[in-house]
Amino acid sequence: MLDALTPADWTAIALSLRVASVAALASLPFGVAVAMLLARGRFPGRSLVDALVHLPLVMPPVVTGYLLLLAFGRKGPVGALLARLFGIVLAFRWTGAALAAAIMGFPLMVRAIRLSLDAVDPKLEQAAATLGANRLAIFATVTLPLALPGILAGLVLSFARALGEFGATITFVGNIPGATQTIPSAIYTDIQTPGGDIAALRLTAISVAIAFVALIASDTLSRRAARRAIGR
Partner 1 sequence: MSLVIDVEKRQGEFQLAARFEAGGGVTALFGRSGSGKTTLVNLIAGLARPDTGTIRVGDTVLFDAARGIDVPVHLRAVGYVFQDGRLFPHLSVKANLLYGTRFGRRGGRDGKLDEIAALLDIAPLLARRPADLSGGEKQRVAIGRALLSEPQLLLMDEPLAALDAARKAEILPYIERLRDETRLPLVYVSHAEDEVARLADTLVLLAGGKVIAAGAVNDVFGRLDLGVYSGRFEAGTVLTARIVAQDAEAGITALHHAAGSLGVPRLPGAPGAMVRLRVRARDVALAVGEPGNISIRNRLAATVTEIGKAQGPAVDVRLAVGGDVLVARVTNGAVAALGLAVGTPVIALIKATAFDAAD
Nearer to partner 1, 131 or 191 (CB): 131
Can residue 119 be called a binding residue for partner 1 (CB under 8 A)?
A: no
Can residue 146 be called a binding residue for partner 1 (CB under 8 A)?
A: yes
CA distance 185 to 175: 6
Cα–Cα–Cα angle for 30, 31, 33, nearest 5°?
A: 60
> Amino acid identity of 23?
A
Helix and strand counts by DSSP (H, E) for the chain = 11, 0
- CB 118 → partner 1: shortest distance, Å? 16
Among 11, 55, 145, 196, which residue interacts with partner 1 (rule: CB under 8 A)?
Answer: 145
Binding mask 171-210 vs partner 1 (x if CB under 8 A, - otherwise)?
A: ----------------------------------------
Among 33, 78, 127, 215, which residue interacts with partner 1 (rule: CB under 8 A)?
Answer: 127
Q: Which stretch binds partner 1 (CB under 8 A): 50-58, 90-98, 130-138, 154-162?
A: 130-138
CA 100, 101, 107, 109: dihedral to nearest 10 degrees? -140
CA distance 114 to 104: 17
Nearer to partner 1, 96 or 150 (CB): 150
Q: How many residues does the chain have?
A: 232
CA distance 45 to 31: 18
Which residues would be at the binding site for partner 1 (CB under 8 A)? 123-124, 126-134, 137, 141-142, 145-146, 228-232
